[in-house]
């Protein structure tokens, strides 16, 4: 009976999505890329859901922009169009991070396998492009992907772009929970207790990535989180150009009080007013 009730609730959940990317006030060009993919093919939608991508590129010249664009284009293409492998050879490795915040959902196996393969393909493509074009040498990108399948989410990420869950509460302020852990030196220092969490945001090491797509020092396998959303919830994807300029409370307040499109523009405006020190990219998902 619980399963039936849950299925009924999930069938009634609808997602609205919007995204916005801005150069900011300091950078000369925008090296971020976002992508919102909602397939019209109903069979594809039922199997793999909707896909939302945000990538924050880095590198000299235009290389960061190339890396982030390559990641978003490759991941979306491979996720939806690469054929599934047979024989069960695609399995999780012991070093994979798979965090299930709610229950384990068997019908998320296909999205998880597809998104892992898509991240690997993007990593390979960025490395290949960098090796062929001297101007692209050293280009890398963060990437965060969210798959929405009914009320169930698969979040895959590499780097320090983040996902947040924002949930209304009876209290005045909505609750905000970070769903991802940064792949950065600053985050690692917090994890081992070398610095307190409140110092991490201002630490110089907060932007030094320990994992990124295109980095030859890593295979860039994404951490994966699964969770379930409720009617009234919001999910925010953003780069460090947003979360480094605003508090969690500011983010949660804006997202919970506006439409996804209005929230995206207001958050970017606030980040620019706070200094706009980096490119600013955000995707807001609203569940109703």
Residue 93 pLDDT > 50, yes or no? no
Domains and their CATH numbers in the chain? 2-287 (3.60.40.10)
Residue 146 pLDDT > 50, yes or no? yes
Give the residue among 280, 98, 120, 75 at the shortest CA–CA distance from 214. Answer: 120
- What is the mean predicted confidence (pLDDT) over 240-248? 96
- Rounded CA-CA distance 144/161 in Å is 6
Q: At a CB cut-off of 8 Å and minimum separation 6, what does 253 contact?
A: 173, 174
Of 151 and 4, the structure prediction assigns the larger pLDDT to 151
For the chain, the average pLDDT equals: 87
- Rounded CA-CA distance 267/284 in Å is 10
Write the burial class of residue 76 (CB in 10 Å: 0-12 exposed, 13-18 middle, 19+ buried). buried
- Identify the pLDDT of residue 95: 47
The model's confidence at residue 197, banded by pLDDT at 50, 70 and 90, is low
The model's confidence at residue 173, banded by pLDDT at 50, 70 and 90, is confident
Question: Residues 108-143: pLDDT tens digits?
Answer: 999 999 999 999 999 999 999 999 999 999 999 999
Give the residue among 59, 82, 70 at the shortest CA–CA distance from 35. Answer: 70
The per-residue DSSP string of 82-141 comes to SPPPSSS-----TT--EEESS---GGGHHHHHHHHHHHHHHHHHHHHHHHH-GGGTT-EE
Question: Residues 222-239: pLDDT tens digits?
Answer: 999 999 999 999 999 999
Give the residue among 238, 249, 246, 242 at the shortest CA–CA distance from 285. Answer: 238
Instruction: State residue 197 phi and psi, 5-degree precision.
Output: -55, -35
- What is the mean predicted confidence (pLDDT) over 213-219? 88
State pTM to two decimals: 0.89
Would you give the end-to-end CA distance of the chain in angstroms? 23
The model's confidence at residue 11, banded by pLDDT at 50, 70 and 90, is low
- What is the mean predicted confidence (pLDDT) over 160-168? 96
- Identify the pLDDT of residue 91: 47
């Amino acid at each position: 009976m619980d399963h039936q009730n849950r299925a009924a609730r999930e069938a009634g959940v609808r997602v609205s999505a919007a995204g916005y990317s801005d150069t900011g006030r300091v950078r000369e060009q925008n090296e971020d890329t976002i992508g919102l993919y909602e397939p019209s093919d109903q069979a594809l939608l039922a199997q793999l859901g909707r896909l939302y991508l945000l990538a924050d590129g880095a590198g000299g010249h235009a290389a960061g922009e190339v890396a982030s664009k390559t990641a978003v284009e490759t991941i979306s293409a491979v996720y939806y169009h690469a054929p599934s492998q047979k024989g069960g050879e695609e399995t999780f490795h012991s070093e994979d991070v798979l965090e299930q915040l709610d229950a384990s959902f068997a019908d998320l196996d296909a999205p998880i396998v597809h998104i892992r393969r898509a991240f690997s393909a993007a990593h390979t493509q960025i490395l290949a492009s960098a090796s062929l074009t001297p101007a692209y040498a050293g280009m890398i990108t963060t990437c965060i992907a969210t798959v929405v399948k009914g009320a169930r989410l698969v979040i895959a990420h590499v780097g320090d772009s983040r996902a947040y869950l924002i949930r209304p509460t009876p209290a005045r302020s909505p609750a905000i929970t970070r769903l991802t852990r940064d792949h950065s030196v600053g985050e690692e220092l917090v994890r081992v207790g070398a610095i307190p969490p409140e110092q991490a945001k201002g630490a110089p090491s907060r932007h030094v990535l320990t994992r990124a797509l295109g980095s030859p020092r890593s295979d860039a396998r994404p951490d994966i989180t699964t969770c379930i959303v409720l009617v009234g919830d919001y999910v925010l994807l953003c780069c460090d150009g947003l979360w480094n300029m605003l508090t969690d409370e500011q983010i949660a307040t804006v997202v919970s009080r506006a439409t996804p499109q209005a929230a995206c523009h207001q958050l970017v405006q606030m980040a620019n007013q706070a200094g706009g020190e980096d490119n600013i990219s955000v995707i807001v998902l609203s569940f109703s």
